[in-house]
Amino acid sequence: MPAYLTDLKRREHFHPELQAEIEFGVYQSTDITAPEIIDNFKVFLEHDDAWEEANRSILEARSEAKQKDFPAMEELADSVAKEIEWQTAMWNQDYERAYDSAREVLAGLNDSGLRGYRALWFYLAGAAAECAVAEGVAGFDVKARQSYRMKGTSRPEVAAEAAGSSCCHD
């Protein structure tokens, strides 16, 4: 979590208030001794003039911060309805419909920044197809294998994960 929050490329997508608070926290925790941490904590608890000064610097940083949109946010927003359809179909054990919904989600995830998310959806399509096979639906064994194989091309480190696991095992 600290590495995620301190990464400037990620932080620029946060709300300006959060950007300012994190920036202040990083500054306050860099090259600091244990006694200085205790002093800072006392300032926080006392809410005196020193705290007000720190708060003003955070407010100033907030007013200067600009929040950038996440890449591919429109693609992600457009996929939500199909993601819910997939979940509903899985819940209702309609695995053919779940597979189709997963494929519809995948059709809309084209941004290169969504490779990891595409890998997840290839896995979910494969899991739905595998569940359809377990229910005796013909032809879904090939679809399951294809989906799992495509999952590996989306994000190599995800490919080895859980190749044999799915939702439909008792």
- pLDDT tens column, 78-109: 999 999 999 999 999 999 999 999 999 999 99
Q: Domain total for the chain?
A: 2
Q: Would you say residue 168 lies in a domain?
A: no
Same domain, 85 and 117: yes
When pLDDT is averaged across residues 63-87 and rounded to a whole number, the result is 93
Q: Would you say residue 167 lies in a domain?
A: no
Residue range of the domain that includes 58: 2-64
Same domain, 89 and 53: no
Residue 164 in this model has a pLDDT that exceeds 70: no
Residue 4 in this model has a pLDDT that exceeds 70: yes
Residue 154 in this model has a pLDDT that exceeds 70: no
Distance CA 42, CA 88 (A): 51
- Spatial CA neighbour of 103 closest among 128, 74, 134, 78: 128
The model's confidence at residue 141, banded by pLDDT at 50, 70 and 90, is very high
The 3-state DSSP class for residue 72 equals: coil
Same domain, 32 and 59: yes
Share of the chain above pLDDT 90, in %: 56
The full length of the chain comes to: 170
Same domain, 100 and 35: no
Residue 170 in this model has a pLDDT that exceeds 80: no
Same domain, 85 and 154: yes
